Amino acid sequence: MGRITGLFGVRGWVKVFSYTEPREAVLNYKSWLLRKQDEWQAATVAEGKRHGKGVIVRVEGFDDRDRSAELIGSEIGIWRSAMPEAGEGQFYWSDLEGLRVVRKDGSEVGTVGYLLETGAHVVMVVQGEKECLIPFVLNEVIIDVDLDAGLITVDWEWDD
C-alpha cells in the first residue's frame, strides 16, 4: 500500500509514500501491517491526512519523533480481507506476482517477480533466463491475464 519515508514534526507523525490512487486512499484503512527487515507487525493508524503531494500519519504508540524514527523504511500492507474486490480488468499486484508469462506464440518468458510504477505506467519485472521489463498495458502489451491458470500472455518485442 505504501512505505514510511520520513518524519514530520516532533509529535510522532511520519511521511507516507502511498501507492494508492488517490494517495490519501491509504487512510481508508486503519489497521496496517508494517514490514521492516522481513517481519510484519500489526499497527493502527491514530490519525492521518493529505499533506501537499503526500500523506502524513500518526501511528498509535508512536507519539514522539524518536520513537517514530523506528518506522522509517517500513513497508505498509493491509489484510487482504479488508480490500475491495478488484474490478473488471483490474488486478492487485500481489495477484500477479509469481504468475507465468508467455508470448502469444506460447513460448515461455519467465515469471513475474514484482511490479513497479514508472509514472507512465506499471511495469512487470519478469524473471526467466534473463530479467526483462514489460509494460503492463492491457489489450496492447498484455493480451490476457488468467489468474485461475496462473498465466499472463504478452505481445511484446524485446532484444533476445
pLDDT tens-digit map of 11-31: 999 999 998 888 999 999 999
Say yes or no: 8 and 71 in one domain: yes
- CATH number for the domain spanning 131: value is 2.30.30.240
pLDDT of residue 92: 87
Q: Indicate whether this model's pTM tops 0.75.
A: no
Average pLDDT of the residues in 42-56: 94
pLDDT of residue 4: 96
Q: For the segment 50-68, what is each residue's pLDDT rounded down to a tens digit?
A: 998 889 999 999 999 999 9
Average pLDDT of the residues in 91-101: 93
Q: Say if residue 149's pLDDT is above 90.
A: yes
Among 46, 80, 114, give the residue marking a domain's end.
Answer: 80
Element (H, E) at 36: strand 31-36
Whether 87 is covered by a domain: the verdict is no
Backbone angles phi, psi at 98, to 5 degrees: 95, -10
Whether 85 is covered by a domain: the verdict is no
For the chain, the C-alpha Rg in angstroms (whole number) is 18
Backbone angles phi, psi at 100, to 5 degrees: -70, 145
Say yes or no: 76 and 111 in one domain: no
Amino acid at the residue 142 = I
Smallest CA-to-CA distance from 8 within 45, 58, 67, 70 is with 58
Say yes or no: 76 and 98 in one domain: no
Q: Look up residue 53 and give its three cell numbers.
A: 503531494
